[in-house]
Chains A and B, each alone.
Chain A
Amino acid sequence: MRTFDYTRVRGLEETLAALGEPGTQPIAGGTELVNWLKEGIEEPRRLVDINRLPLRDVGFADGVLRIGALARMSDVAADEIVAARFPVLAQSLLLAASAQLRNMASIGGNLMQRTRCPYFRADTAVPCNKRAEGSGCSALHGDTGAAAIFGWSDRCVATHPSDLAVALAALDAVVVVRGERSERRIPASEFIRLPGDEPLRHNELRAGELITAVEVPGGAERSYYLKVRERASYEFAVVSVAAVVRAEGGTLTGVRLALGGVAHRPWRLTAAESALVGVDLGDTTALRSALAASFTEARPLAGNEYKVTLAQRAAVRAIQEAAA
């Protein structure tokens, strides 16, 4: 670990000014960043502790749920409005990490977390385009069981691990970020980036910007987060589904679906969402064929064909659970 300076800030202006200095990074719960420091993934010169900024509130006003970037995962999951009106959100948080981590981990930090690809997390430098541009992708010649089936490039086949991001994508949430000069509002489904030709760019946040809040419109009483994993708790998803549905008399009238574990960002199933309208909830076969509309573009690798099957089955189950 390289030695670094540490300062604590209290106000937004002060923070943005500090973040403008090269080599400076904010630290919130530290549950991700400290790992990066230890593995040499990041070597900042200065850490700015933003935990005293007034960005912890969770509130519902004018039909919008606003979650401060520094709200803790556990606090958001326990919030009464979140639990009652946005079950998918509460569930995605409660199924993530461990109780101890959720007590420390912030919402902003969660969206900033990086892939769990083991090569990216290696103790010594191994070829990985997300660590060093142009060094290659070790995962491509290794075990591709955990890799993406959508949206990967020959530069990087990793998936993004955030459960929260998947729920937010299905909820059409917006990530609010502040730079020194202006505020930007980025759709949650686009905040994390596909690797493309620039695998080093993990997300849309620009240097010097801070996430201040996440905004979620409306309510999503009939919603569900399904996380498929081999260990019963404290594990990232093999595949996950966030489903938000509307139904009348057993027939779907509106569906929003996002998948986790299949791409380096939450993967919205827009084609399937249209095809699902009018489908009978009890008709599993019809649900399956409507979902297939979004899987024609799946590009599984040698070791992860199973994710194509698993993701579709998980989506069916999530829709049915959300409607139940």
Chain B
Amino acid sequence: MTTEGLVRPDGPAKLTGAARYAADVPAESALAAALVSATVPNGRLAELDAAEARDCPGVAAVLTRADLPTLAELPSPPLGYPALPLQAEEIHYEGEPIAIVLAETLEQAQYAASRVRATYTGVREPIAFGEAEDVVPHSGHVLGGTDEEKGDAGAGLAEAHVTVTATYTTADRHHSPIEPSATLAWWEGEQLVLHSSVQSVAVAQQTMAALFSLPPEHVRVVCPFTGGGFGAKGYVWPHLPLAAAAAKVSGRPVRLVMTRAQMFTLSGHQPATRQTVSLGATRDGRLTALRHDSVNASGRAVDYLENTTHSSTWLYASPAIETRMRVQRVDRPGPTPMRAPHEGPGMFALESAMDELAYELGIDPVELRLRNEPDVDPMTGLPFSSRRLVECLREGAERFGWAERSPEPRSMREGNDLVGWGVAAATMDTFRAPSSAKVRIGADGRIVVETGMQEIGTGLPAMVQAVVAETLGCDPGDVEVRHGDSGFPPHAGTMGSMSAMGLGSAVQAAAREVLAKLDGRQGQPLAGLLAESGLTELEAEGRWSPEEDALAAGRSARYSMHTYGAIFAEVRVDADFGVVRLSRAVTRYAAGRILNPLAAHSQLTGGFAWGYGQALLEHSDVDPVLGRFVSKNLAGYLLPANADLPDLDAAFVEDDDRFANPLGAKGIGELGAVGVAAAIANAVFHATGRRVRNLPIRLATVLSEP
């Protein structure tokens, strides 16, 4: 493929500020909206006093429940939280909008919003994660079964020579995209126009049509660029319906931009999990049983599930595997998938437990993983579509110099630093979804591709150029990519690490059809071919979707289809202060064919930083009395900074998965964030002899006596 060093066509517009994001779209006579939020986590709204707010300068209206239309009821997904604000008196979570202030300027709207007084009744002490009952979740967030079983795990543990059982926790985390979610909405008669920061114009269009009981073609959603989402903009969150409803009521365009604080409550979060893993093994390190139980926090009215245990069913050969997932419905805003959902939290538990087992057995942790490499999917018996975990482990170990490791914990020291090495495997499920694109050739040979996809920072326009260039034999620079409008052929969404394969396959199909229609061959000048056929323009639409028998989220029913990786980390732990710093890391991944190495590499390093945050920094605490996330800003919620991250040796091993899609490509956006936390925690154990089972790893914990 002609993609080596391919640069982003959208780069210059982004660097110069010419790229237009939802909140920047000009709209004459638009009103600025500000939300008034509930300050209690439950109970009911008793009274709302908006008199002072209505008198504030610039205020056009203060909208309360009585002013808004009743919207159709929809589940989550596609809604982020199934109970939409301003539809009932009940308060579902702290931060839930209870009124909308519309004013001429944003500052006026926000000031007036601060002058609305609310009183509540029936407010009780919030129920926190850990205090509620574990329940079986029922929602579209459950992918496959909550309980899976093969063989007799109890017997496998009983007959094992060595067992480990431990409980691990992961913290509440927030997506924190730089661009806060925003919607500019207006009505043209019965037509609704939405400029919104989303990860799927298709999901937004369909869902908004359903909520407002409109035919989908009456709703247009525009979003060429999204300033990061990481899952926070995948489903439909309140800014979309509230902006549309306010525009309808006021008769003017309404611009609603989330504040940073609102991003902590009104766009989902990755919920805390508590997971218990038991492993049994023979003395030579072969698993006899694997048990993985998990529970995560969810909201009172939503069963969001972190499908944490799935990877435990396919990663290691074991005659007995038993997994179970539950949720707790507690007082908090709704969670949602966040970069590396499911395997992100899940693999911390499994890969920490594997490390514990390796020490118990006295077997090198890389070797232990190699000894448990399965031939077929351990749970289903299905063949692997492609699986290169062994190559990742071997190549990574080689590059890292793993053979030099001294196995004893606390055996490497440099000055004040205890040095430790850790390894973990990574794996991610392969989600797939339909996509489509139009390829048009003009008389001058110019090529235009249209797709509903929005550029979210991952470099998809360059990928589209690369696929067209490869198929038609033209230069990537000859291809103009137009994207992010529900009027273009639909793309399922830039989420779930599924865009490159779906969109790439659709674009490839469209480009091939163009060539077929012209009876041409790859590399022939298109303008000439067009003229020979007596045409001035030619277009073709290409589509791709997973096989018909594919499972929920496009997972394969025929193959065990996943991506893999191996993470090697070196940490330095200050022996006096307990501060953990990462000094070096090598990562290797197998994720099908890599379409654009430059962009793919940046996904790996970005993913690693994401995992680093999970490992060492990110935690959001829910106040036990107020039932609110304590710190709703980025000075109080720490994300990794450049200084935290050393140079990473990140690369792919050769892979190609033709069972996944015609391109042979799979998802890479989330894989890079998986396994990092376990590798770092394992390295901290090696450095200090202190096993940290709760994320993030804090200096107070490392400092304290075990």
Contacts and interface: CB of A to CB of B under 8 A. Distances in A.
Contacts of B640: 231
Contact residues on A (Cβ < 8 Å of other chain), bracket: 35 or more
Contacts of B638: 230-231, 235
A142 interface: yes
Interface stretch (B107-115, B156-164, B377-385, B457-465): B107-115
Interface stretch (B192-200, B211-219, B435-443, B626-634): B626-634
B624 A118 contact: no
B698 A230 contact: yes
B641 interface: yes
Contacts of A230: 579, 616-617, 638, 698-699
Contact residues on B (Cβ < 8 Å of other chain), bracket: 35 or more
Interface string A1-37: 1110000000000000000000000000000000000
A169 B176 CA distance: 37
A306 B703 contact: yes
B107 A3 contact: yes
Contacts of B698: 145, 230
B643 A228 contact: no
Contacts of B699: 228, 230, 238, 306, 310
A206 interface: no
Contacts of B621: 142-143
B625 interface: yes
A2 B642 CA distance: 36
A40 interface: yes
A314 B261 contact: no
Chain B CB within 10 Å — which of A3, A122, A229 has the most?
Answer: A122
B87 interface: no
A289 interface: no
Nearest to B613: A231
A228 B579 CA distance: 8
Contact of A123 (B108, B259, B704): B259
A162 interface: no
Interface in B173-210: none
Interface in A88-120: 116, 118-119
Interface in A210-240: 228-235, 238
B700 interface: yes
B53 to A, nearest CB: 13
Nearest to B631: A118
A29 B198 CA distance: 35
A296 interface: no
Interface SS, B side = loop
B576 interface: yes
B630 A118 contact: yes
Interface string A149-165: 00000000000000000
Interface in B564-617: 576-579, 581, 616-617
Contact of A126 (B579, B628, B636): B628
A141 B625 contact: yes
30 contacts: A116-B635, A119-B630, A121-B633, A121-B635, A121-B636, A123-B259, A123-B632, A123-B633, A126-B39, A138-B626, A141-B624, A142-B621, A142-B623, A142-B624, A142-B625, A228-B579, A230-B579, A230-B698, A231-B643, A232-B641, A233-B642, A238-B699, A306-B703, A309-B703, A310-B577, A310-B578, A310-B699, A314-B577, A316-B576, A317-B576
Nearest 10 pairs between A and B by C-beta?
A123-B261, A233-B643, A232-B643, A118-B631, A313-B576, A306-B700, A232-B644, A118-B630, A118-B636, A234-B641
Interface of B: 37, 39, 57, 107-108, 110-111, 114, 259, 261, 416, 576-579, 581, 616-617, 621, 623-626, 628, 630-633, 635-636, 638, 640-644, 698-700, 703-704
Given A126-B626, A232-B643, A316-B576, 18 more contacts: A116-B635, A118-B630, A121-B633, A123-B633, A138-B625, A145-B698, A228-B577, A228-B579, A230-B616, A230-B699, A231-B641, A232-B581, A232-B644, A306-B700, A306-B704, A310-B703, A313-B577, A314-B576
